[in-house]
Amino acid sequence: MAKVGIVLVSHSEKVANGIKEIIMEVAQEVPVATAGGTDSGEIGTSFVKIVAAIEEACTDKGAIIFYDLGSAMMNAEMAVEQFPEKNVRIAEHIAILEGTYFAAVESSMNKDVEEILSALKNSFQHSK
């Protein structure tokens, strides 16, 4: 059964890959794709890399994107707009490591995108 995919968008390739390593310990069967750093491997994010990561991780059930800093989110939004037919959503204002870990576990239990997003919200978004 297809599981919700996870896309990791970080300003750093090492951060994205490091988080992926941590997640793979708990949820090997969940598709996880990374988009870390710019096209030339520098600090930053790449719209092109995010588009490719969505293509890699998104299943029939969809995918959730996690990002680290603000400009990563803008690039993630633009990338999502390239896939109007896919159920790709961005986890907004969720810490990337805790969020992806939590979502990977939820996804491995066959939860759908909406269920995972609302569980994330309940667990991580406390009133300010």
Partner 1 sequence: MRLTVEKTINWMERMNEIIAEQKEFLTDLDQAIGDGDHGINMARGFQEVIKKLHMTNYSTVSDVLRDVAMTIMSKVGGASGPLYGTAFLKMSLALKGKEEVTLSDVAKAITEALNGLIQRGKAKPGDKTMIDVWDPVANYINELKSFDPDGIVQIAREAMEKTKDLQASKGRAAYLKERSVGHIDPGATSSYYLFLALSDVMKEGD
Chain contacts with partner 1 (rule: CB under 8 A): 37-39, 42-48, 69-71, 74-75, 77-78
What 3-state DSSP class applies to 83?
Answer: coil
Least Å distance, CB 44 to partner 1, is: 3
Cα separation, 91 vs 41, whole angstroms? 24
Cα separation, 85 vs 88, whole angstroms? 9
Cα separation, 106 vs 108, whole angstroms? 5
| Smaller CB separation from partner 1, 25 or 128 | 128
| Smaller CB separation from partner 1, 93 or 121 | 93
Least Å distance, CB 75 to partner 1, is: 5
| Smaller CB separation from partner 1, 26 or 69 | 69
The catalytic position among 11, 20, 49, 111 is: 11
Residue 93 known to be catalytic: no
Cα dihedral across residues 32, 50, 100, 106: positive or negative: negative
Q: What are residue 64's DSSP bridge partners? A: 6, 89
Tokens of residue 79, six digits: 């990338």
Least Å distance, CB 96 to partner 1, is: 17
By annotation, the residues acting in catalysis are 11
